[in-house]
Structure 1
Amino acid sequence: MNGFPIKLAVASTDGISINEHFGHAKQFRIYSATSDRCDFLETREVAHYCLGQHSDESAMSGILEAIKDCYAVFVARIGEGPTKKVHAIDVRAVSEYAYAAIEESLLDYTRRTVASESIG
């Protein structure tokens, strides 16, 4: 299929499930995925963006830089403002797999979403 493999970023505290809020992530786990395979590539450290009632815009630019080469970022939750910023760099924000297993979720997403878009 055209466009495979793709890079996917995941906000996870344990490396097992998609369990971290976008604004609280201190790192993103980067995976390479096809419709039948998911491989962990690296961990990218970031400063967390959400600081209680306000946000750190300099941290946001670092997060966007860290995930800009990814097709999508998987998070437990993400606010409307950060979603718009992620979309502005042509990365999809995905929260439908919150608290699910990472590899199963990435494979399912790749099969359903990416295959239907015929990326390439």
Structure 2
Amino acid sequence: MLIAVASRDGKEINQHFGHAERFLIYEVEGDEVKLVDEKKVERYCSYDVDHPLRGHLLEAIAAVLAGCRAVVCAQIGQAPQMEMERLGIDVYAADGPVKPALVEIAKVL
């Protein structure tokens, strides 16, 4: 299964969903975790006064992450979490090393 991760360095889950300008896409099968892609996105926290809820950005992020079963980030606000889940992507807040976290999350998916 594919899981997207918000990470500054590709080693740790250490980035807030709204600050991510890219998501690293990992394929997880059992205990195997492999980086397979990187998807660039426009930051959700853009402070666009014309679009205060920024739903269009969430839809664009969800479209880029199509095919991913979940997204994992250090933090996420309630509104974007609910919208991502409505769009079919499970959201997990976690921290620490990417690979062991993804193995554990994949067990519950």
SS in 2 for 1:107: helix
Partner of 2:101: 105
> Is the strand fraction higher in 1 or 2?
2
TM-score by length of 2: 0.88
Paired residue for 1:20, among 1, 15, 21? 15
Unaligned runs of 5+ in 1: 1-5, 115-120
The one-letter amino acid paired with 1:35 is G
The one-letter amino acid paired with 2:102 is L
What does the per-residue CA deviation read over 1:69-97, in whole Å, with 9 as the maximum and x for residues that have no partner? Answer: 111100001111101111112211000x2
What does the per-residue CA deviation read over 1:6-47, in whole Å, with 9 as the maximum and x for residues that have no partner? Answer: 000000011111111111100000011012211110100000
Q: Quick one: distance in 1 between partners of 2:14 and 2:99?
A: 13
Paired residue for 1:75, among 53, 73, 82? 73
Asked if the contact 2:18/2:45 (under 8 Å) is kept, the reply is: yes
When the two chains are superposed, the root-mean-square deviation of aligned CA atoms in Å is 1.6
Asked if the contact 2:4/2:26 (under 8 Å) is kept, the reply is: yes
Asked if the contact 1:68/1:89 (under 8 Å) is kept, the reply is: no
TM-score by length of 1: 0.81
Aligned length: 106
Partner of 1:39: 34
Unaligned runs of 5+ in 2: none
SS in 2 for 1:33: strand
